[in-house]
C-alpha cells in the first residue's frame, strides 16, 4: 500500500483502455467453446429423449425450435412476446426509479432512517406475488396491474443497494466534493456520492432485472389474456405441449438477451471500476 | 535568537493592516463523542489567523487533532465552540475560494473521472472552453500535461498528489489548505513536491495553510510556524521563520538559522510531550499557553 511510488508511470499520451490481452482472450475463447459444447450436448440429449418418448409429454427439441420460430415470426410475436418484454422493461424502469429515489432518501438523509426504516423493513417482507390480487382490485386486470407488480417487486434490490452504496461512499470523496462545490448538497450527491455508489447500484439493478422477468411471468399467469406467461399457461391447459416448451424457451432467451445487454451497458459505465480493481489486485 | 522567537508572536498582524487578515479562528474547540458515551476532546482551544498571501505551517505531535483542526478551518466540520471567519464573514460551509489538498490522494481524487475531469471538477460554473484552459494551465504548473486523459489510479502516488494540487489551483483560490499532503509519498518525491508547492504559492500569491508533522517541511516552507500541544490541542507557540525567498531545499537546510528554528520547534513539541502523558485530558499549565476559555 505504501509502494505507490514504485508503480511504473503509464506510457505517455496513452489513455486507459480496458485490457484484452491475448492470453486472456484465448482463455475466453476456450471457455466459450466449452460452454457451447455442453449446451449442444444437452439439447441433443433432449432431442433423443423426445424422439424415443412414448408418453407424449416431451416433444423433441427440433419440434419445439420450429414452434419457437413460428411464434416469433407469427402474430403471437406482437400479441404475446413483445407486450411481455415491454411490460417487463417498463416495470423494471419504474421499479428502478422508485428504488433509486427511495434508496437516495434513505441512504443520504440518515436522519430519516429511524422514521422510515420500520415501514420499509415491513413492506420488504411482503412477497410481491401476494400483491397481485390487491393490484387487480386497484388497477383492474390490465397492463397497469402487471407493470406495477413488476415495479413493486423490482424496486427492492435497487433500493437496498442504492441505500447501502451511498452509506459506504468513501468519506474522502464527499469531503473533496464539498470543498469543490462549496457544499451544495445536490452537487455533492449527484457528482460524487452517486457515481461512487454506482457499482453497487448496478448490482441492485441487475437483480431487479431478473426479478422483473419472474414477476412478469407470474403476473401474466393471473387474470391475463396475453403475454408469454399467458401463452405458457394456456398451452398447458390445452395440452399443447410443444408451444408450452417453446414459450419457456423464448422466455429463457429473452432473459439471457436482456442480461447480456445489461452486462454490456454495465461494462461501459464502470470501465473505471474494473480498471481500478484490476490495478489493486495486480 | 531562540529568545527572540519563542512564545507567541504577532509580527505580521502587527505590521500589516487588520484588513489583510483572511482567516481568523478564535477559541475553536471540538470534541468527539463515542457511541459508548465517552467524550474525547480533540481541539482544546485554538486561536490563529492567516493574512492574505501568507504561508503558515501548523506542526504538532501525531494524534494532536491536526486533521480535525483543518476540517474545522475549511468549514467541513463545525467546531463545538469559538468563532471562525473567512474574509470577514463567518464560515458555515466551505467558502467558494478555498481549496483543500487532502492527505490521502487516493481517497480524494475521483476514480471515475479522468485526470482532466478531476481538475475541472471545481470549475462547473465556467464554460467548457474556459474549464479546459484552466485545467490545462493548472496541470502545466504541476508538470502533468502528458497524463491528462488517464485515470488517477493509473498514476503513481506523487503524480496523484500533483493532480490534487492542480485541482486546487485550477479553482484560483485565495486560500489553500493542505493536510499532510506529502505524508504518503517517498522522500525524493516529497522534496520535489515541497519545492513545487512553495513556488506555486509564491507565484499565485496564495495564502497557504499547511498541516504537517514534519518540522523540516514546516520550516522550509512557511513564513510562520504554529506549534500545537498534544491533544486536546492548543497553540503552544508561533515561530516566525525569517529566511528569505525563494528558498532552495539544500541551501536552506544547510543554514544555521534553519537548524535553530528546527531545534526550537522540536524542543517545544518534545518538552510538551514528555510532561503530559497521553491519557491526560487537560494540558499542564504552561507560561506560553494562551488563555483558555471557561
pLDDT of residue A168: 94
CB contact under 8 A, B102 and A2: no
- Give residue-wise pLDDT tens across range A103-136: 999 999 988 888 888 998 899 889 988 888 888 8
- Give residue-wise pLDDT tens across range A33-69: 888 999 999 999 999 999 998 888 899 999 999 999 9
| CA–CA distance, B252 with B274 (Å, rounded to integer) | 29
Choose the closest CB to A182 out of B96, B159, B189.
B96
Other CB atoms within 10 A of residue A31 CB:
10
Return the closest-CA partner of residue A248 out of A81, A130, A43. Answer: A81
B226: left (phi over 0), alpha (psi -120 to 50) or beta: beta
| CA–CA distance, B196 with B215 (Å, rounded to integer) | 18
Cα dist from A274 to A14, A61, A199, A206, whole Å = 18, 39, 10, 17
Bigger pLDDT: A53 vs B284: A53
Choose the closest CB to B110 out of A4, A10, A192.
A192
Phi, psi of B156 (to 5 degrees): -75, 165
Which cell is A117 given?
Answer: 426504516
* Alpha helices by DSSP H, A222-270: 228-237, 241-269
- Give residue-wise pLDDT tens across range B44-79: 889 999 999 999 999 988 778 888 899 999 999 999
Q: B86 in contact with A at a CB cutoff of 8 Å?
A: no
B157 within 8 A of B35, measured Cβ to Cβ: no
- The CA distance from A176 to the nearest CA of chain B, in Å, is 6
| CA–CA distance, B69 with B44 (Å, rounded to integer) | 10
| CA–CA distance, B182 with B105 (Å, rounded to integer) | 10
B34 within 8 A of B200, measured Cβ to Cβ: no
Number of residues assigned to chain A: 282
Return the closest-CA partner of residue B86 out of B12, B151, B28, B169. Answer: B28
A202 within 8 A of A269, measured Cβ to Cβ: yes
Task: Report the relative pairing of strands B39-51 and B98-101 from DSSP bridges.
Answer: unpaired
CB contact under 8 A, A272 and B159: no
CB contact under 8 A, A180 and B99: yes
The domain defined by A59-281 folds into: MetI-like fold (1.10.3720)
CB contact under 8 A, A9 and B186: no
- Give residue-wise pLDDT tens across range B97-148: 999 999 999 899 999 999 999 999 999 999 999 999 999 999 999 999 999 9
Residues of A in contact with B185 (CB under 8 A): 4-5
pLDDT of residue A22: 54
Say which DSSP state B107 is in: G
* Residue of chain B whose Cα is closest to the Cα of A8: B156
Low-confidence ranges of chain A (pLDDT < 70): 1-25, 280-282
Tell me if residue A280 falls in helix, strand or coil: helix
CB contact under 8 A, B184 and A4: yes
Strands (E) in chain B, as ranges, are 21-33, 39-51, 55-59, 81-86, 89-90, 98-101, 175-179, 207-212, 224-228, 233-240
Q: Over chain B, what is the mean pLDDT? A: 84
Helix (H) or strand (E) segment spanning residue B292: none
A229 within 8 A of A220, measured Cβ to Cβ: yes
Residues of B in contact with A9 (CB under 8 A): 147, 155-156, 159
CB contact under 8 A, B151 and A275: yes
Domain B1-97+174-182+199-238+266-285: CATH architecture, name and number where available:
3-Layer(aba) Sandwich (3.40)
| CA–CA distance, B207 with A242 (Å, rounded to integer) | 79
The full set of domain ranges for chain B reads 1-97+174-182+199-238+266-285, 105-172
Which residues of A lie inside 8 Å of B (Cβ-Cβ)?
A: 2, 4-7, 9-10, 12-13, 15-16, 170-173, 175-183, 187, 191-192, 195-196, 198, 272-273, 275-276, 279
Q: B32 in contact with A at a CB cutoff of 8 Å?
A: no
Other CB atoms within 10 A of residue A8 CB:
6
Residues of B in contact with A193 (CB under 8 A): none
| CA–CA distance, B66 with B163 (Å, rounded to integer) | 23
Q: B108 in contact with A at a CB cutoff of 8 Å?
A: yes
CB contact under 8 A, B146 and A191: no
pLDDT of residue A182: 87
Average pLDDT for residues B159-185, to the nearest whole number? 93
User: Which residue, among B99, B155, B156, B180, would best test binding to A if mutated, counting the most A CBs under 10 Å from its CB?
Assistant: B156
User: Which residue, among B111, B122, B157, B172, would best test binding to A if mutated, counting the most A CBs under 10 Å from its CB?
Assistant: B111
Percentages (nearest 5) of helix, strand, coil residues in chain B: 40, 25, 40
| CA–CA distance, A2 with B207 (Å, rounded to integer) | 30
B253 within 8 A of B216, measured Cβ to Cβ: yes
CB contact under 8 A, A276 and B124: no
* Residue of chain B whose Cα is closest to the Cα of A271: B112
- The CA distance from A154 to the nearest CA of chain B, in Å, is 27
pLDDT of residue B269: 86
pLDDT of residue A16: 61
| CA–CA distance, B32 with B77 (Å, rounded to integer) | 11
**Which residues 146-205 in chain B show a CB within 8 A of chain A?**
146-147, 149-151, 153-160, 167, 171, 184-186, 189
Task: Report the relative pairing of strands B81-86 and B21-33 from DSSP bridges.
Answer: antiparallel
Return the closest-CA partner of residue A177 out of B31, B95, B121. Answer: B121
ipTM of the complex: 0.83
A49 within 8 A of A58, measured Cβ to Cβ: yes
Average pLDDT for residues B261-282, to the nearest whole number? 70
- Give residue-wise pLDDT tens across range B190-238: 999 999 999 999 999 999 999 998 999 999 999 999 999 888 888 888 9
CB contact under 8 A, B151 and A272: yes
Q: Can you name the residues that pair with B31 across neighbouring β-strands?
A: B41
pLDDT of residue B60: 86
Choose the closest CB to B153 out of A180, A191, A279.
A279
What residue has cell string 425450435?
A65
- The CA distance from B203 to the nearest CA of chain A, in Å, is 22
Amino acid at each position: 500500500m505504501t509502494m505507490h511510488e514504485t508503480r511504473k508511470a503509464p506510457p505517455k499520451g496513452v489513455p486507459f483502455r480496458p485490457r484484452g490481452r491475448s492470453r486472456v482472450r484465448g482463455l475466453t475463447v476456450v471457455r466459450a467453446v466449452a460452454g457451447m459444447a455442453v449446451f449442444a450436448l444437452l439439447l441433443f440429449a433432449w432431442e433423443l429423449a423426445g424422439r424415443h418418448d412414448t408418453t407424449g409429454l416431451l416433444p423433441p427439441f427440433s419440434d419445439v425450435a420450429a414452434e419457437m420460430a413460428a411464434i416469433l415470426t407469427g402474430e403471437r410475436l406482437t400479441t404475446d412476446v413483445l407486450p411481455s418484454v415491454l411490460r417487463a422493461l417498463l416495470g423494471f424502469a419504474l421499479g428502478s426509479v422508485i428504488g433509486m429515489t427511495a434508496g437516495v432518501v434513505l441512504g443520504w438523509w440518515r436522519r430519516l432512517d429511524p422514521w422510515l426504516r420500520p415501514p420499509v423493513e415491513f413492506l420488504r417482507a411482503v412477497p410481491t406475488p401476494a400483491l397481485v390480487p390487491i393490484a387487480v382490485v386497484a388497477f383492474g386486470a390490465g397492463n397497469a396491474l402487471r407493470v406495477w407488480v413488476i415495479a413493486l417487486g423490482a424496486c427492492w434490490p435497487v433500493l437496498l443497494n442504492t441505500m447501502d452504496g451511498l452509506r459506504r461512499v468513501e468519506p474522502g470523496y464527499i469531503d473533496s466534493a464539498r470543498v469543490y462545490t462549496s457544499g451544495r448538497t445536490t452537487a455533492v450527491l449527484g457528482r460524487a456520492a452517486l457515481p461512487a455508489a454506482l457499482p453497487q447500484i448496478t448490482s441492485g439493478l441487475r437483480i431487479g432485472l431478473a426479478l422483473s422477468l419472474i414477476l412478469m411471468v407470474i403476473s401474466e399467469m393471473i387474470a391475463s389474456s396475453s403475454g408469454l406467461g399467458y401463452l405458457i399457461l394456456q398451452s398447458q391447459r390445452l395440452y399443447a405441449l410443444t408451444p408450452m416448451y417453446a414459450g419457456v424457451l423464448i422466455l429463457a432467451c429473452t432473459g439471457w438477451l436482456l442480461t447480456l445487454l445489461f452486462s454490456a451497458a454495465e461494462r461501459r459505465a464502470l470501465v473505471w471500476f474494473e480498471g481500478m480493481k484490476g490495478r489493486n489486485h495486480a | 535568537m531562540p529568545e527572540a522567537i519563542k512564545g507567541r508572536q504577532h509580527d505580521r498582524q502587527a505590521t500589516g493592516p487588520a484588513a489583510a487578515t483572511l482567516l481568523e479562528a478564535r477559541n475553536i474547540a471540538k470534541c468527539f463523542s463515542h457511541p459508548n458515551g465517552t467524550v474525547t476532546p480533540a481541539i482544546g482551544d485554538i486561536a490563529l489567523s492567516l493574512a492574505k498571501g501568507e504561508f503558515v505551517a501548523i506542526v504538532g505531535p501525531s494524534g494532536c487533532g491536526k486533521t480535525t483542526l483543518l476540517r474545522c478551518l475549511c468549514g467541513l466540520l463545525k467546531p463545538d465552540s469559538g468563532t471562525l471567519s473567512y474574509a470577514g464573514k463567518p464560515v458555515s460551509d466551505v467558502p467558494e475560494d478555498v481549496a483543500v489538498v487532502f492527505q490521502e490522494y487516493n481517497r480524494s481524487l475521483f476514480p471515475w473521472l479522468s485526470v482532466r475531469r478531476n481538475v475541472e471538477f471545481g470549475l462547473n460554473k465556467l464554460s467548457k472552453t474556459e474549464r479546459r484552459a484552466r485545467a490545462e494551465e493548472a496541470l502545466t504548473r504541476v508538470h502533468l500535461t502528458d497524463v491528462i486523459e488517464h485515470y488517477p489510479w493509473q498514476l503513481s502516488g506523487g503524480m496523484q498528489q500533483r493532480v490534487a494540487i492542480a485541482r486546487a489551483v485550477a479553482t484560483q483560490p485565495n486560500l489553500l489548505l493542505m493536510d499532510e499532503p506529502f505524508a504518503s509519498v517517498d522522500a525524493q518525491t516529497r522534496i520535489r513536491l515541497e519545492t513545487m508547492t512553495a513556488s506555486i504559492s509564491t507565484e499565485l500569491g496564495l495564502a497557504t495553510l499547511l498541516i504537517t508533522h514534519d518540522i523540516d517541511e514546516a520550516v522550509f516552507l512557511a513564513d510562520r510556524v504554529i506549534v500545537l500541544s498534544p491533544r486536546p490541542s492548543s497553540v503552544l507557540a508561533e515561530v516566525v521563520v525569517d529566511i528569505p525567498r525563494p528558498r532552495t531545499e539544500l541551501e536552506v537546510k544547510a543554514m544555521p538559522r534553519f537548524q535553530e528554528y528546527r531545534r526550537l520547534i522540536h524542543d517545544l513539541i518534545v518538552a510538551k510531550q514528555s510532561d503530559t502523558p497521553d491519557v491526560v485530558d487537560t494540558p499542564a499549565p504552561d507560561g506560553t499557553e494562551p488563555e483558555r476559555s471557561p
